[in-house]
Amino acid sequence: MSKINLSRLIPRKKSMIAIAVAAAVLLIYLLIRGCSGSSDVVYRYEKLTKGDVVKTVSVTGSLDVLNSYRVMSKINGVVNRVFVDFNQVVARGQILATVDSTEIDQEMSRVLAQLERARLDLAGARADIETKKDLYRENLISRKDLEQAELNYKKIAAQYRQFQVEYEIAMRNKSYTRISSPASGTIISMEIRPMDVVSVNKALFVIVEDMRKMYLTINVDESDIGKIARGQRVTFTVSAFPGSVFEGKIDQVRLNPIAQQGLVVYQAIVICENSEMKLKPGMTATATVVVDKKEGVMRVHNEAFIVSPVEVSGDLNRQFVWKKRGGVADSIPVKKVGVKTGLVGDAFTEVSSEKLKVGDEILVRIEKKFKL
């Protein structure tokens, strides 16, 4: 077994310690230098462009079908049969369900019986008049007896007409035992099953005439309602289809205020297409209303009215921007240029100035980069 030479290991160990100490000193130096290091100012520019300036209002709302019919029960009774189901397409006049009504059946029997009695009484009264006329011509009865027979006939005839009206009412009520569709469309709601007890005005079905047309009810804050008008374009999204953007136009602005959680809102109705049948009644939507728009105007980013290379408070009412100096070496590489502002949009502001042209670089942001 060979012996380890310690005299060779000691110098190597000392050199490793020296390297570690040097690395530690360098790290401390860099940290100190970094904390007290200087920084470079970087100016960010955006070119003056010609395009659209758009101002919008963000709102929320819910969707519903445009043309729908609520089918109500017109009688009291018990559901006998239901012939349709959810989402079924039905035709105008199609029978949807039938209802049994003991009350209507009893009324029909009563009216038929009294109408038949009245018919027989009327026939007897008519025959009595003819007999009385023959007797009167033979001077076997007085004129008063003939007039009495005619009066009795008129009384029975009036009663017969009344019974006919009651019969027509009973027949109409009988027809209500067969519930039919008021229009062609799709059944989107049903509140009826066999053996259900129904009463007058109970909602049984909801039928949509055309699912390709819908409306969106949007809630507009009172501070924005003055900007909303009929004909404005609206875009919106629904959570079920996050990648799809739907469009519509405002058809109506309602003036009645609605209190919601201590706030006042107004409602507007947006008519929208649903050709792909993606939208469903009751869906909630996040919408954007284009309340103002200027097309093909000279514009700058709104940031240009906030940033400043000197101590000047920035706001969108400021009537100047900072334009990049061309090839000028200066501590501040921009110069102030007065502008006349027009429409202030969501991202851009309309501007005009004799000292600016499309393509000029305008200061929009100042960044600081620290260096060691």
Q: Where are the domains of the chain?
A: 42-53+296-370, 57-67+212-292, 71-96+180-209, 102-176
Q: In what order do the strands lie in the sheet with 203-208?
A: 68-72, 203-208, 185-190, 89-90
pLDDT at 85: 96
How far is the C-alpha of 273 from the C-alpha of 212, rounded, in Å?
Answer: 6
Closest to 177 in 3D by CA, of 71, 76, 70: 76
pLDDT at 49: 96
CATH architecture label of 102-176: Orthogonal Bundle (1.10)
Instruction: Spell out the per-residue pLDDT of the chain, length 372, in tens.
Output: 444 444 444 444 455 555 555 555 444 444 444 444 445 778 899 999 999 999 999 999 999 998 899 999 999 999 999 999 999 999 999 999 999 998 899 999 999 999 999 999 999 999 999 999 989 898 888 999 989 999 999 999 999 999 999 999 999 999 999 999 999 999 999 999 999 999 999 999 999 998 899 999 999 999 999 999 999 999 999 999 998 999 999 999 999 999 988 889 999 999 999 999 999 999 999 999 999 999 999 999 999 988 887 755 555 567 899 999 876 555 678 899 999 999 999 999 999 999 999 999 999 998 876 555
- For the domain made up of 42-53+296-370, give the CATH fold: 2.40.420
d(CA 150, CA 155): 9
What is the C-alpha separation between 118 and 151, in angstroms, rounded? Answer: 16
Element (DSSP H or E) covering residue 161: helix 143-175
The reported pLDDT for the residue numbered 3 is 45
Say what the pLDDT of residue 333 is: 85
Segment (H or E) for 51 = strand 49-65
Q: Structurally, what CATH architecture does the domain formed by 71-96+180-209 represent?
A: Beta Barrel (2.40)
On whether the CB atoms of residues 86 and 188 are closer than 8 A, the answer is: yes
pLDDT value of residue 128: 92
List of residues 6+ apart from 133 with CB closer than 8 A = 146
| Nearest partner of 270 among 311, 233, 227, 309, judged by Cα | 233
Q: How far is CA 229 from CA 269, 290, 350, in A?
A: 10, 10, 22
**Do 181 and 92 form a contact (C-beta atoms < 8 A)?**
yes
Write down the pLDDT at residue 329.
54
User: Cα 220 vs. chain centroid, distance in angstroms?
Assistant: 12
- Amino acid letter at 40? D
Q: What pLDDT sits at residue 7?
A: 46
* DSSP states along 97-140: EEEE-HHHHHHHHHHHHHHHHHHHHHHHHHHHHHHHHHHHHTTS
Res 311: pLDDT: 55
CB-based contacts of 135, cutoff 8 Å, min separation 6: 141, 145
pLDDT of residue 9: 41
CB 254 within 8 A of CB 220: no
d(CA 63, CA 270): 9
What gap in Å lies between CA 332 and CA 328, rounded to an integer? Answer: 9
Domain 57-67+212-292 has CATH 2.60.40.1940: no
Q: Tell me how far apart the alpha carbons of residues 63 and 285 are, in angstroms, rounded to a whole number.
A: 7
Query: Minimal CA–CA distance to 305: which of 332, 354, 345?
Result: 345
